[in-house]
C-alpha cells in the first residue's frame, strides 16, 4: 500500500515564529535533501529540500500550515580541547588535511567518533573526550555540504 506523506519543502525565514512540532535528526541525516522523517509527535512526512542543503539545529521548516523546529540530535562525538590555542590549531590543521567535518567552538573542536582519529589526536597531545552531544560542523569555505568519506567514516 502506497502512503502519501505531507511534504516539507520550505524553510521558514522567521526564527521567532512559533513551532508546532519538532524534527530531531543527527548530522548525517540533516545532510540529506530527500528523506522520510518521523516528527517528535509521531507523524511522518517527506523531507524534499534543495539538493546540497544542510539542516541546522534551530531552523524552522513549513509542513502544510504548521512550523517544524529542527533539533540537532545528540550523537557520539569526540570533544577535543588543548592547553593552548597553538596546540588546538595544530589538531584542527591535521583534521582539516583529512577533510574531517569539524565543529569549532571557543577553545574546543568536535568531530564524529573515530578510533583512528582519536589516536592521532592523542598523539598530538590534546585532550579527547567521548561525548554524546549535538554535532554542527562548519559548512566549509565554499558553503556546501561536500564531505569526503574515508578515514573518518562511521563505525
Return the CATH number at 127.
3.30.70.790
In three-state secondary structure terms, 53 is coil
CB 41 within 8 A of CB 86: no
Stronger pLDDT, 142 or 26, i.e. the higher one:
26
The pLDDT, as a whole number, for residue 114 is 97
Of residues 52, 140, 60, the one with CA closest to residue 96: 140
**100 pLDDT above the threshold of 80:** yes
| One domain for residues 68 and 11 | yes
Query: Is residue 43 packed enough to be buried (19+ CB in 10 Å), middle (13-18) or exposed (0-12)?
Result: middle
28 lies in which domain range?
7-72
d(CA 123, CA 121): 5
**26 pLDDT above the threshold of 70:** yes
| One domain for residues 48 and 98 | no
Find cell 531552523 and name the residue: 59
- Mean pLDDT across the stretch 60-66? 92
* Mean pLDDT, all residues of the chain: 88
Confidence grade of residue 34 (pLDDT, cut at 50, 70, 90):
very high
Does any domain span residue 154? no
- Mean pLDDT across the stretch 14-21? 84
**147 pLDDT above the threshold of 50:** no
**148 pLDDT above the threshold of 80:** no
Does any domain span residue 2? no
| One domain for residues 31 and 62 | yes
| One domain for residues 65 and 98 | no
Cell triple for 129: 573526550
**14 pLDDT above the threshold of 80:** no
Number of domains observed in the structure of the chain: 2
Does any domain span residue 151? no
Amino acid at each position: 500500500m502506497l502512503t502519501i506523506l505531507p511534504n516539507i519543502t520550505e524553510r521558514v525565514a522567521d526564527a521567532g515564529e512559533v513551532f508546532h512540532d519538532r524534527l530531531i535528526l543527527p548530522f548525517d541525516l540533516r545532510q540529506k535533501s530527500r528523506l522520510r522523517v518521523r516528527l517528535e509527535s509521531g507523524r511522518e512526512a517527506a523531507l524534499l529540500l534543495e539538493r546540497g542543503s544542510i539542516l541546522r539545529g534551530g531552523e524552522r521548516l513549513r509542513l502544510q500550515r504548521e512550523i517544524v523546529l529542527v533539533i540537532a540530535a545528540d550523537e557520539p562525538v569526540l570533544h577535543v580541547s588543548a592547553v593552548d590555542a597553538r596546540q588546538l590549531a595544530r589538531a584542527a590543521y591535521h583534521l582539516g588535511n583529512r577533510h574531517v567535518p569539524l565543529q569549532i567552538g571557543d577553545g574546543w573542536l568536535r568531530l564524529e567518533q573515530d578510533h583512528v582519529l582519536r589516536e592521532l589526536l592523542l598523539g598530538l597531545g590534546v585532550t579527547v573526550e567521548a561525548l554524546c552531544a549535538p554535532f554542527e560542523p562548519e559548512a566549509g569555505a565554499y558553503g556546501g555540504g561536500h564531505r569526503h568519506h574515508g578515514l573518518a567514516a562511521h563505525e
